[in-house]
Structure 1
Amino acid sequence: MLSLWRLATTGVSRVNPEFIRQCSTVARKKQVVFYEGEVQQLLKNLTGCNIQKVFRARKEGKETKKSVYQFVTQEELEQLQKEYLKKAEMKLQMPPVMEERVSVATVLEEDPLLTGFDNSKIVFTDITYGVEDRERLIVVRDIDGTLRTATWEEHDRMNQIYYPREECKHYVPAMFEPDNLKALMMPEKYVYILDRNCGQFEPDHPLYIRTAEIVYNHINEHKHFYALESTRHFGPMVFYLCWNRQIDDLLVHFIMSKSLENAARTVKVYQIIANDKSFELSENSSECITNFARSPAARQKNKILAALKKAQ
């Protein structure tokens, strides 16, 4: 588990180029496109860095630290500001966007003589310290004598037993049920839901992907894009909308917010992801947006052009 989340906390430059190359030879998967340098930089710029929002007080059931005031020189102030910017960048590192994982269970041995030896499965787990959770060797001896590698669900459960993470429950919390999520869907709860989603599941877990997509779709439907700005979840949301060719309302949001540059960046991300050559990019943000709006790629041409005209 830890190995994937490390991608979200160490920066793009630490991603192994060989990993990208190997993935690219297989198929154009989400994780390959997501970690392309240009896409990462565009998503980072789109996210923004509102220091007040990044370091806002949050209700997490922990005691809030008291503010400390002190006199500093201009040089010391600039150094403190640099340190806070670095901390903000760490907080804004985006969770990985990945394809849904597939079963990895492999039969290693079939021994009929062990059939009925026990009425429960026997799980063997390598608990060597320092081994990445996803790389930990876990095998299962079934009741019928079959020895196989663990399924993803068994793998997650064993890792949580031997190396528990505080934010991860050993069961799926009820809040992740679609009906329960609907009751939580409001701008002030989006980040909370997505943070809990990151803590509970791996980024390629089916429930992680389902939960994230439910939130992104609700935000897009109700035009609540501002709720994720300057959070680590804004980039993955933009990526999702571009991947599913649903960026029209997001473009209107940026245009009406007087941020034509961000609208143009979104168009660039869309073209990279969709590999859509039906329109030309331009260094001029307004022209770039107009080219997109007048192409077959746009679903709400008139709405985008009307917003652009009103903003100019």
Structure 2
Amino acid sequence: MSLRVMALLISPFLAIFAIAQETATERSTEEYIDEKHKQFSNYVVEVFDDIDSSISRWVQDSDDNETGEDEAITNIDKFFKDEKFIEETERSFLRIRLGAEFQSKDDEDYNYKIRAQIPLNRTKKSFQLFIEDVEKSYFDPESSTEVKETNTAVGINFFAPIYKDIKSKYSIGISSLTPYAKARYSKDFKVDTWVIQPTQQFKYSLKSEWSEETNLYFNRALDERSLFRTTLHRKTQSHVDGFDYAVIFSYYLTLSSKKGFSISQQFWGNSKYKCEVAPEEYNGISNYSTSLSWRQNIFKQWISLELGPGISFHRQYEYEPNYLFMFNVDFYFGNI
């Protein structure tokens, strides 16, 4: 048999072998990444558990807390992981967020944020250590009246036993070497197909003194994958005249376990609002905004991409359109 004929016979097998090798390499790379993420997640949980063990000697046991929200609403909040969900969850996790925000009326903003919650399951399930980068106001990111904090805060949360269906959360922490304390109360009411949840929060800081805010959520799960929510908000704080108020209409839809989108319409105002272009006090609506958000798990379940175009009409820009675009990538480690 000639060498040419032998080469022709062997070449298909070589090609198949090469493809198999390439597939195996791709599979091994993917398995390697999955294994490393699993190892790091386990490490995060173990570190949390070690912290728990080190202080469990001086903390007594307590009863568990249970949540009362409908499962469909909870699952949708868990997917979108908004501020409401983060405030209420007792799950352990470490989140690293890389983000950017672009505006037609202001400079772009690039940021990263780290947030961690560490339930002390061995010590007391009602206790939870936290690390968080305080974000901008959810209700008015452009408000000149909002007192903004940008420093990392660390402290401990205490979830008190539920009393007459009232859930209580107390926090003490330190931010930029300034101690502060917070208290949050909430209760769920079921009215036909609606779940109504009023929340009240108080905060006292040695730097910015006190603030208090009320949020009233009207939740209706349209089906297992979609949710309509109306949020009513008001807030007062030291060194700021008047009070903030807002109403938000939001629709959430999870298309699958890996992707979903939301759309929100917001109206914000302050009873004594002032800005450079209009220095006289104004008590009407100062900002109208519409935003979209697309959230999807990319590559892996623990990596999420969030894209969000929007438009706002703010009094400080003489109600001219301000085009917005938000971009976030979240990396999750732990039990969330």
User: TM-score, normalised to structure 2's length?
Assistant: 0.20
Higher normalized strand content (fraction of residues) = 2
Q: Which is helix-richer, 1 or 2?
A: 1
Larger radius of gyration: 2
Question: Under a length normalisation based on structure 1, what TM-score does the superposition of the two structures give?
Answer: 0.21
Say which structure, 1 or 2, has more relative contact order (CA 8 Å, 6+ apart): 1
